[in-house]
């Protein structure tokens, strides 16, 4: 069965291994969540109530009754492969979307990631916008995107255009641009709210001095957005270190890509000169 629980585990294991090998998740950095297809509960894995109902402190009516596979609080993504049941878990939201309980995993204690609110806010908005298609959220500390936020004065139009100009794949992968979120306390409801606001229009958000969040129909799709944005940031930083940007994709060249692939970009960003 395509959507079996073992398949979901394999995907999160592969993604966490790739994130670690890319250098995007030092120590306990980074977190992953997947909204589970109810079909997976027909497998033989034992799902049972393993915690009391825990208040979320926010309401998620659009996610009422949904289950998520979520990396664990304080856990190392690189250890998921060694022991999934200790480092990730399955949570279920109640029928009001105000509480959750653990159904599987977190066997060494703890619970879901400290960024759970940001993940659930992202799931809630993207479930609505994508009409249920998008199921994956990834947050990592990808170094080139972070470095960019120290090196430059950025906002959403500036970072979007810069990444488009420095790697032709970017406008194809995220024609709607990249949301830029000024620094806020990690794990806070303010950060979750600001991110969710940006994700109404976009699938990738860069957190100043911190990292990046991306969403997608599956983990590969979310990972791919980060991978392409990170490559563009690397191209920019290496070019600057190598003597400065003397050439970049022009607005006309970006417009040609848009036409060729029939993309729907944010034209206010595309037509802006930075
Ligand atoms: Zn982080």
* Domain parsing of the chain, residue ranges: 1-114, 139-274
Choose, from 11, 44, 81, 115, the residue flagged as catalytic.
115
Return the CATH fold of 1-114: L-fuculose-1-phosphate Aldolase (3.40.225)
The mean per-residue pLDDT over the stretch 178-201 comes to 96
Q: pLDDT-based confidence at 274, cuts 50/70/90? A: confident
Tell me the CA–centroid distance for residue 53 and ligand 1, in Å.
26
For residue range 115-140, list pLDDT tens digits in order: 999 999 999 999 999 999 999 999 99
Give the strand order in the sheet containing 54-55. 54-55, 99-105, 88-93, 67-71, 31-35, 136-140, 211-216, 204-207, 179-181
Tell me, in angstroms, the distance from the centre of ligand 1 to residue 143's CA. Answer: 12
For residue 1, the model assigns a pLDDT of: 52
Beta bridge partners of 54: 100
**Fold match between 1-114 and 139-274?**
yes
Residues in Cβ contact with 202 at an 8 Å cutoff, skipping those fewer than 6 apart:
174, 176, 177, 178, 179
Structure tokens at 135: 């199921």
Helices (H), the chain: 5-22, 84-87, 116-129, 143-151, 156-166, 169-173, 189-198, 219-241, 251-261, 267-270
11 is catalytic: no
Task: Give pLDDT, residue 46.
Answer: 79
Pick the CATH number of 139-274 from 1.10.10.60, 3.40.225.10, 3.40.1640.10, 3.80.30.20: 3.40.225.10
Q: How confident is the model at residue 2 (pLDDT cuts 50, 70, 90)?
A: low
Closest CA to 66 of 11, 105, 10, 119: 119
Mean pLDDT of 8-23: 97
Distance 30 CA to ligand 1 centre (A): 5
What SS3 class is residue 69? strand
Predicted pLDDT of residue 266? 97
The C-alpha atoms of residue 72 and residue 5 are separated, in whole angstroms, by 17
Query: Is residue 104 within 8 Å of residue 89, measured between CB atoms?
Result: yes
The rounded Å distance from CA 28 to ligand 1 centre is 9
Q: Is 209's pLDDT higher than 60?
A: yes
pTM: 0.96
- Output the CA 114–ligand 1 centroid distance in Å: 9
Secondary structure class of 99 (helix, strand, coil): strand
**Contact in structure between 263 and 171 (CB atoms under 8 Å):** yes
196 CA to middle of ligand 1, Å? 16
Helices then strands, counting H and E runs in the chain, come out as: 10, 9
Higher-scoring residue by pLDDT: 9, 44 = 9
pLDDT beyond 90 at 207: yes
Tell me phi and psi for residue 145, to 5 degrees: -65, -40
Please provide the average confidence, as pLDDT, over all residues in the chain.
Answer: 96
The pLDDT > 70 percentage for the chain reads 99
Q: Give 247 Cα–ligand 1 centroid separation in angstroms.
A: 33
Terminal Cα-to-Cα distance of the chain (whole angstroms): 49
Whether the pLDDT of residue 72 is over 70: the answer is yes
pLDDT of residue 29: 96
């Amino acid at each position: 069965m395509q959507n079996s629980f073992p398949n979901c585990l394999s995907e999160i294991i592969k993604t966490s291994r790739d994130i670690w090998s890319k250098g995007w998740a030092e120590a306990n950095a980074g977190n992953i969540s997947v909204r589970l297809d109810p079909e997976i509960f027909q497998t033989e894995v034992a799902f049972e109530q393993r915690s009391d109902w825990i208040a979320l402190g926010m309401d998620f009516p659009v996610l009422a009754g949904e289950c998520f596979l979520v990396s664990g609080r304080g856990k190392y993504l690189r250890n998921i492969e060694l022991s999934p049941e200790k480092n990730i878990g399955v949570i279920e939201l109640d029928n009001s979307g105000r509480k959750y309980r653990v159904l599987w995993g977190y066997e060494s204690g703890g619970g879901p990631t400290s960024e759970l609110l940001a993940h659930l806010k992202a799931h809630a908005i993207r479930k609505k916008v994508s009409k249920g298609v998008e199921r994956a959220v990834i947050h990592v500390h990808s170094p080139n995107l972070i470095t960019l936020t120290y090196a430059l004065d950025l906002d959403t139009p500036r970072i979007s255009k810069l990444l488009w100009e420095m790697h032709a794949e970017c406008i194809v992968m995220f024609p709607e641009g990249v949301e830029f979120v000024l620094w806020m306390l990690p794990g806070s409801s303010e950060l979750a709210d600001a991110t969710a606001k940006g994700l109404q229009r976009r699938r990738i958000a860069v957190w100043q001095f911190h990292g990046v969040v991306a969403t997608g129909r599956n983990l590969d799709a979310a990972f791919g957005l980060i991978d392409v944005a990170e490559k563009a940031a690397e191209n920019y930083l290496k070019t600057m270190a190598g003597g400065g940007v003397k050439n970049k994709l022009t607005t006309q060249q970006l417009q040609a890509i848009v036409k060729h692939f029939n993309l729907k970009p944010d034209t206010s960003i595309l037509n802006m000169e930075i």
